[in-house]
């Protein structure tokens, strides 16, 4: 007679984890989700590889916040990463696991992972809603042809739910953009906000793929023999220096960020043209000129240049309270209160600045008819305001104004061979997602990082380079 082998008694660890699992499931049955969450958290602290506990805990912690949504996503993805065989075993539980991870990636990224998961899920489940979700996330990555096919599949599988007039209209519109249902090149791509990995990854790639996308097909006019003339604040100086350091001929006319307004730019043109200028403004302007610069040397530099880069600085300026005329005082921390009493410090309008910039560009083109024009907005913030107590709000209004000015001048005028370079967007948007765009060199919050300036200029040269 054969001997029956008794199953091994559970170890103390197995007994404890088993009790916690049973307790947690009991809390779920009783709808006591807070206690269930605490119990499964304790279970995972004891056994972080418990697949079932990870799956249940991921759903228990969802509370509507982005933070918990991401935590749940990561838990589900960790199961799939640890057990890739799940994809080859399409049980209902496994499909629900993949679907949960795919939906969370679709909601908060990464989109590439969402597409990969939904592709595998749709093929395994053959469910209409999985194909529909795949179609939606494919569009975000401009994969229009596959998105159309996936939506058609969803409609075919469940016409009652997905064969709506809205979806049929979507298909007709999508097909008209691509020319036909399959095989055609995308007629128009949709811009999508970059993901965190884009912001914190390669700067040149971020600029090419997400920030200066519209310039990828722009004319190529930069060669090693190209001569640049830059004008504006310290950012324009950094830009010119970086060009010079990389072997390009570049001269820079610097205007202090504090007075780097388009009204000061207009005075610059009037000075070069020998037009009438208020004596006080003229004296102040001459004081601000960089050493060694004169009308003759400035005009000669412009005439010899192939590319003129204008960096728009700030929208606020001082004006005479009685006449409304532009004034150019000597601001300092000590006399700022007196200046604010004597003069009106106000944020100028978009139209005022558009008129001033066009006045400047018209003169530049008269002086050098074939010169290319590049307009940028300085990312260097306004350092003081006599108009608002919050300089942060004042700077936002100022930069928003100057960005609209650049848009109007570049896109809604009859000026030819003019381009907008998004240096402002690089620093303010990439800088909000990565910590080393400001203050990296000296700790000053208003100083842009030299390394990021260099990276931005490299992308600029590569974008327009003919070699």
- Please give the order of strands across the beta sheet that includes 418-420: 249-254, 227-232, 307-312, 372-377, 418-420
| Cα–Cα distances in angstroms (integers) from residue 230 to residues 24, 134, 444, in the given order | 67, 48, 24
Give the C-alpha separation, 104 to 121, whole Å: 14
CB neighbourhood size of 255 (10 A): 24
CA distance 419 to 436: 27
Phi then psi for 183, rounded to 5 degrees? Answer: 85, -10
24 within 8 A of 31, measured Cβ to Cβ: no
2: tokens are 């054969």
Residue 325: the pLDDT is 92
The two three-digit tokens of residue 440, written as one number: 């990296």
Ordered per-residue pLDDT tens for the chain, 467 residues: 455 566 666 788 888 899 999 999 999 999 999 999 999 999 999 999 999 999 999 999 998 888 899 999 999 999 999 999 999 999 999 999 999 999 999 988 888 999 999 999 999 999 999 999 999 999 888 788 899 999 999 999 999 999 999 989 888 887 776 654 444 444 556 778 888 888 888 999 999 999 999 999 899 999 989 999 998 777 777 788 888 888 899 988 766 555 578 998 899 899 999 999 988 888 887 777 777 788 999 999 999 999 999 999 999 999 999 999 998 877 665 666 677 788 899 999 999 999 999 999 999 999 999 999 999 998 888 888 889 999 999 999 999 999 999 999 999 999 999 999 999 999 888 887 777 776 666 666 667 778 888 888 888 888 998 77
- Confirm whether pTM is higher than 0.95: no
Give the burial class of 382: count Cβ atoms within 10 A of its Cβ; 0-12 exposed, 13-18 middle, 19 or more buried.
buried
Domains of the chain: 12-178 (1.25.40.10), 203-464 (3.40.50.1110)
Give the pLDDT score at 174. Answer: 77
Q: What is residue 2's predicted lDDT score, i.e. its pLDDT?
A: 53
The predicted structure's pLDDT at residue 81: 96
Taking a C-beta distance cutoff of 8 angstroms, is the pair 138, 146 a contact?
yes
Q: Environment class of residue 263 by beta-carbon count within 10 Å: exposed (0-12), middle (13-18) or buried (19+)? A: buried
Number of helices (H), then strands (E), belonging to the chain: the values are 22, 8
DSSP state of 322: T
């Amino acid at each position: 007679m054969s001997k029956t082998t008794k199953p091994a008694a559970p170890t103390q660890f197995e007994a404890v984890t088993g009790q916690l699992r049973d307790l947690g499931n009991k809390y779920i049955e009783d709808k006591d989700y807070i206690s269930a969450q605490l119990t499964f958290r304790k279970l995972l602290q004891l056994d972080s590889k418990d697949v079932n506990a990870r799956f249940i805990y991921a759903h228990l912690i969802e509370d509507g916040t982005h933070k918990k949504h991401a935590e749940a996503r990561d838990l589900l993805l960790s199961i799939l990463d640890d057990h890739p065989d799940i994809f080859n075993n399409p049980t209902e539980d496994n499909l629900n696991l993949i679907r949960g991870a795919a939906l969370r990636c679709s909601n908060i990224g990464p989109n590439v992972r969402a597409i990969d998961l939904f592709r595998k899920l749709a093929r395994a489940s053959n469910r209409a809603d999985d194909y529909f979700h795949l179609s939606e996330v494919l569009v975000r990555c401009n994969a229009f042809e596959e998105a159309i096919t996936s939506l058609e599949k969803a409609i075919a599988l469940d016409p009652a739910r997905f064969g709506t007039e809205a979806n049929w209209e979507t298909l007709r519109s999508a097909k008209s953009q691509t020319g036909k249902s399959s095989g055609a090149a995308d007629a128009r791509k949709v811009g999508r906000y970059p993901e965190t990995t884009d912001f914190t990854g390669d700067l040149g790639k971020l600029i090419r793929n997400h920030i200066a996308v519209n310039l990828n097909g722009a004319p190529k006019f930069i060669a090693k023999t190209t001569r640049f003339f830059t004008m504006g604040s310290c950012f324009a100086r950094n830009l010119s220096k970086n060009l010079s350091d990389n072997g390009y001929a570049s001269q820079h006319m610097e205007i202090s960020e504090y007075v780097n307004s388009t009204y000061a730019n207009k005075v610059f043109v009037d000075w070069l043209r020998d037009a009438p200028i208020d004596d006080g403004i003229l004296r102040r302007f001459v004081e601000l000129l960089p050493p060694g610069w004169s009308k003759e040397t400035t005009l000669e530099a412009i005439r010899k240049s192939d590319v003129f880069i204008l960096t728009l600085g700030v929208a606020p300026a001082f004006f005479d309270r009685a006449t409304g005329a532009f004034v150019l005082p000597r601001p300092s921390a000590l006399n700022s209160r007196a200046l604010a009493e004597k003069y009106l410090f106000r944020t100028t309008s978009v139209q005022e600045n558009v008129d001033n910039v066009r006045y400047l560009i018209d003169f530049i083109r008269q002086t050098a008819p074939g010169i290319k024009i590049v307009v940028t907005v300085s990312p260097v913030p306004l350092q003081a305001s006599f108009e608002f107590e919050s300089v942060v709000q004042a700077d936002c209004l100022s930069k928003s104004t100057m960005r609209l000015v650049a848009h109007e001048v570049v896109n809604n005028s009859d000026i030819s061979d003019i381009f907008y370079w998004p240096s402002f967007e690089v620093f303010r948007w990439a800088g909000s997602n990565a910590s080393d765009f400001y203050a990296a060199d000296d700790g000053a919050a208003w100083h842009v990082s030299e390394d990021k300036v260099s990276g931005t200029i490299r992308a600029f040269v590569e974008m327009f380079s003919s070699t």
